[in-house]
Chains A and B, each alone.
Chain A
């Protein structure tokens, strides 16, 4: 059974840094592109970043480019999101998600974690 479990969400002050983690199991982790998607309270979905199966390619939304860094550890079956220079508008539930097709860079996401809440507030 595929499982994605996010962790690391906290209440943090503007300007602070945070690292989110996503522990994956139930599939061959290093075969799949992985995604971070966020959802502000009461709002819609916003794609944040994705990383290819081998970690060689990464993409970011303009809203986080230069502040967030996605990475993965294929030995530990884990996905990460390093978040720096946090802003109040980064407050959201952060989901990690898995690509539906293996070795596919452009893919929909067939499995999602339950999310971890990041609150940026003074």
Chain B
């Protein structure tokens, strides 16, 4: 099983700042099949990024993904008020599919 470790657990930033979220895998992710989801409290997850760096439909270009192998990053270039929620990474290249523990982005 591929274990995904997200860091930091909580990221305290101000609106307009750049956010860098990390997702580290315990072994290489097949075909770089790594996705990022955003979850607003009380709502279902929303797909932001898939295949490491492809933005899902309707996702603003301030969200970008990068990485390969075992190290992946979600970058939010300029934080908007609605971005202060929880983010999860997921690998879907092998079974069992796994999620990271999440990073909460909070207002500083």
Chain A residue, CB-CB nearest to B98: A47
Interface stretch of the complex, out of A7-15, A24-32, A71-79, A102-110: A102-110
Residues of A within 8 A of B46 (CB): 112
Give the distance to chain B from A90, nearest Cβ to Cβ, in Å. Answer: 16
Pairwise interchain contact A113-B44, C-beta atoms closer than 8 A: yes
Count residues on chain A whose CB falls below 8 Å from chain B CBs: 21
Interface string of B11-54 (1 = CB under 8 A from A): 00000000000000000001101010101000111110011000
A50 at the interface (CB under 8 A from B): yes
Residue in A46, A106, A114 whose Cβ sees the most chain B Cβ within 10 Å: A106
Pairwise interchain contact B44-A114, C-beta atoms closer than 8 A: yes
Interface string of A19-49 (1 = CB under 8 A from B): 0000000000000000101000000111100
Pairwise interchain contact B92-A106, C-beta atoms closer than 8 A: yes
Q: How far is the CA of A35 from the CA of B98 in the complex (A)?
A: 13
Give the distance to chain B from A109, nearest Cβ to Cβ, in Å. Answer: 6
Pairwise interchain contact A108-B50, C-beta atoms closer than 8 A: yes
Q: How far is the CA of A109 from the CA of B49 in the complex (A)?
A: 10
Give the distance to chain B from A82, nearest Cβ to Cβ, in Å. Answer: 19
Query: Residue B44 contacts which of A47, A106, A107, A112 (CB distance < 8 angstroms)?
Result: A112
Give the distance to chain A from B88, nearest Cβ to Cβ, in Å. Answer: 6
Given A47-B97, A47-B99, A100-B50, decide whether A107 and B45 contact each other with a Cβ distance below 8 A: no
Instruction: State which residues 70-121 of A face B: CB under 8 Å.
Output: 95, 100, 106-110, 112-115
Pairwise interchain contact A45-B92, C-beta atoms closer than 8 A: no
Query: Residue B90 contacts which of A108, A113, A114 (CB distance < 8 angstroms)?
Result: A108
| Those 9 A-B pairs whose CB atoms lie nearest each other, nearest first | A108-B50, A108-B35, A112-B44, A47-B97, A45-B99, A59-B95, A110-B47, A44-B102, A61-B96
